[in-house]
Structure 1
Amino acid sequence: AWEAYNEPVADTPDKMKRLADFEAERTRLLAEAGIRSVVGNFATGHPPLELWPHFAPALDAVRQYGGFLGLHEYSAPIMQFGFGALQPDNGADQGDEGWLTVRYRKAYRHYLSPMGYGDTPLLITECGIDGMIGNRPGPPDARGWKDFVNTWLANGLRNDPPGVYMDQLIWYDSQLQQDDYVRGAAIFVAGASPGWEPYDILGRTAELLQQYLQVHPQPAS
């Protein structure tokens, strides 16, 4: 399946409508060539939830041509930050939803399902730890998971950074498995280009991931 723009900024009704029309036409054209489309691919914490109704044309095309909705979900210093009770500034407990990771449930429960799109297949096209989210604990200049190791140690997590990160990925997978419309998720990144090395999972983290997937085979979508 093919994506279009990475993390488009659609923060007004007009921008969301124009993006939806573009994505709908792109999905139609790709379908003519026998290619499935992934629409959206919004950044973590985006789009503003109240703008989802303006994305309906793209969701209609996904339904008609067998495509997917794509979202990115990151948090930091751990993937659970912003989920449930673990909120910045003692914010309200979000239950089994989040503002960053597992934010997709807010979109589906409160917008897409009431609109009639609750069965839209979802791909988490990027996920993991990304320090570029705002209003979070930890070093201000930290980016990928490797940059947060000292923060993890200072907060009592064990001295096994790949294992600690894998624990968080397992937690996230356990959430995804609860929602049958979620068809898959891609961890960023395996084989980092220059500048993205703190995100790289190659090495022991990838080995642990392979072991996990061997023991917990993913259901066919």
Structure 2
Amino acid sequence: MYNQKYHHFDFLYNHKYGFHINGPRQDAFDAALRMRPRIVKTLDFSVEAMKNIRREIPDVFLIGRLTVSPQDFGQMYNSHAPMSTRIKQARQKGKEMATRILRQEANKDIHHVNGRRIFSAWESLNEIFPESVSVDEQKLFDEYQLVFGQIMRSSGFEAIGMNFATGNFRGKQVVDNFPRTLETYKYLGFHEYDWPTMDRLHKIGLNEAPAPKNIRDRVPLAGEGRGNDGMWLTLRYRRIFFEGVRQKYGDKHTAIITECGMTQGAQGGPDLGPWDPNHPIPIDNYWQSLMWYNSELMKDDYVMGACLFVTGAAGNPDWETFEHLGPIMDRLAAFQKKIPLSQTDNQAQPSNSSPDSPDISVALHPTQPATTQPTAPLPETASAADPNTIAISFPKVVARYRSHYVLFPRGTEDWWYAAAKPYLRQFGPTRGENLRDALFLRGKLGHTITGINLSPRTIAQIKKYAPNAQLDIIRANSSADLAAELKKRIKRNKPY
């Protein structure tokens, strides 16, 4: 499932697929309202259509991408100029792109829906270059993304970084050549395709002989330890995250698959999808590929979702060969089941657990009745015989960073999260209402649990099951009190 680290959904599904709308297609808008996807990406900014999506799906994570030609991040400037001059040009281009997006009609304050902006986040440039370009060009794009991200975030939007074409970059390249992006951005975008099945190259990699090179290509913590561990086209996000990004930045980043599906281009053919009349893929076969890919996405709680390219083709006849509206969307609608957050809280934690870690039963308290006034969240009730217990396996602690979890009481109302939003955005801790998740010590340099109005019993459990964690208690009688306390921490630039 998705860990809700930054963006909070009211509910999740048994799949992570979202929409990629390429143009003003009413049938795509209607399908989105019917399916209520958790994530929608669009190249169309029709104000009323986007407002309607935001109004009808209030918690949707809505991503925009403005297409521009040429895609200039400063690389067109004199290549013989000093690098410092080229960096200034790249930063200026990042500023120009952000300014152009902010001027879009859909981003004006007059179009807010129930006090919220229509769009949640924006991408900058798309599939800008392959991994083979020079290091200087990669670092110019890093400077471009830095300024673009800073401006977008300071204007109330998130920025989605990277968005390279499928099969590009290794983790070390990303860490070495895009440090400013990794330090600035919370969300990293990935494009993932294969042909004629979505797991073709992944399976080939797993079945490679255990030669020295293949063993060197294996991915620590995330791989299966077979062949070269695969993850070269689809699941490339996992390879990149665990080949250096997570080792250096911990769980700072959320992955979004901003495009996914099938293209013949993955094997050197034309960029045409599964409905190309010259090389059609049977619907059953494609559906099975989508089910496999979803089963992998569901294992990784740091993946928010995957945008099916395309759900609403427009502007290019070739895009019709990728269209998911129709039989595939019908099957997804039949497959889709809503999973309340209370149910996701009680699911087993996805992989990362160590086989020699002890199992610990931790009592989970029943959800409190929802309050109707913005008073202090009720602490969890403590009962002598609480039947709600689950087994927890603590993962190995490997990353050199300090982890942080903000633990709210069960049933916390939305206005409390709204009060905490500036703090959560500033420091980027994991947050939620699940004691089990709070107990996981992910950082080698330590772990802090900031607890909001925790009950004595919950405090005792934290001290018992996570004795090495730093416990940071906040008492607040109202959401205004909470906002005031967190504002002080923001001003001190200290999360606890």
Q: TM-score range by the shorter chain?
A: 0.7 to 0.9
What 5-or-longer segments of structure 2 have no aligned partner? 1-120, 215-226, 346-431, 433-496
Q: In the TM superposition, what is the alpha-carbon distance from 1:20 to its structure 2 partner?
A: 1.4
- Encode CA deviations 1:96-139: one digit per residue, 9 max, x unaligned: x411001111111112122224441010000000111235xxxx
Is 1:206 aligned to residue 329 of structure 2?
yes
Distance 1:20 1:217, change over 3 A: farther
1:123 to 256, 278, 303: 256
Contact 1:83/1:94, CA 8 A, preserved across alignment: no
3-12 or 184-193, which deviates more? 3-12
Distance 1:204 1:216, change over 3 A: farther
Q: Where do 4+ consecutive residues of structure 1 move more than 4 Å?
A: 86-92, 148-152, 215-221
Could you tell me which amino acid in structure 1 is paired with residue 188 of structure 2? L
Which residue number in structure 1 is paired with residue 204 of structure 2? 85
**Does 1 or 2 have the higher relative contact order (CA < 8 Å, sep 6+)?**
1
Superposed counterparts of 1:62-211, under 5 Å: 62=185, 67-85=186-204, 93-95=227-229, 97-134=230-267, 140-141=269-270, 143-147=272-276, 161-193=282-314, 194-211=317-334
The separation in 1 between residues aligned to 2:178 and 2:208, in whole angstroms, is: 31
Q: In the TM superposition, what is the alpha-carbon distance from 1:145 to its structure 2 partner?
A: 1.1
Contact 1:24/1:57, CA 8 A, preserved across alignment: yes
Q: In the TM superposition, what is the alpha-carbon distance from 1:84 to its structure 2 partner?
A: 3.2
Which residue number in structure 2 is paired with residue 5 of structure 1? 125
Which residue number in structure 1 is paired with residue 368 of structure 2? none
Query: Secondary structure of the equivalent of 1:39?
Result: strand
81-90 or 111-120, which deviates more? 81-90
The separation in 2 between residues aligned to 1:94 and 1:209, in whole angstroms, is: 32
Identical pairs, percent: 29
Contact 1:44/1:73, CA 8 A, preserved across alignment: yes
The separation in 1 between residues aligned to 2:228 and 2:327, in whole angstroms, is: 33
In the superposition, the TM-score normalised over structure 2's length comes to 0.38
Bigger Rg over Cα: 2
The separation in 2 between residues aligned to 1:210 and 1:164, in whole angstroms, is: 18
Is 1:22 aligned to residue 139 of structure 2?
no
What is the CA RMSD across the aligned residues, in angstroms? 3.0
Which residue number in structure 2 is paired with residue 158 of structure 1? none
- Encode CA deviations 1:164-212: one digit per residue, 9 max, x unaligned: 2111111101111111111111010112222211111111111101222
Could you tell me which amino acid in structure 1 is paired with residue 126 of structure 2? N
Could you tell me which amino acid in structure 1 is paired with residue 164 of structure 2? F
Q: In the TM superposition, what is the alpha-carbon distance from 1:43 to its structure 2 partner?
A: 0.7
Contact 1:124/1:185, CA 8 A, preserved across alignment: yes
Distance 1:86 1:147, change over 3 A: farther
Which residue number in structure 2 is paired with residue 157 of structure 1? none
Query: Secondary structure of the equivalent of 1:183?
Result: strand
- Encode CA deviations 1:120-162: one digit per residue, 9 max, x unaligned: 1010000000111235xxxx4572012389676xxxxxxxx22
The separation in 2 between residues aligned to 1:215 and 1:121, in whole angstroms, is: 22
Q: In the TM superposition, what is the alpha-carbon distance from 1:86 to its structure 2 partner?
A: 5.7
Q: Judging by fraction of residues, say which structure has more strand.
A: 2
Q: Judging by fraction of residues, say which structure has more helix.
A: 1
In the superposition, the TM-score normalised over structure 1's length comes to 0.80
Contact 1:74/1:129, CA 8 A, preserved across alignment: yes
Aligned residues: 204
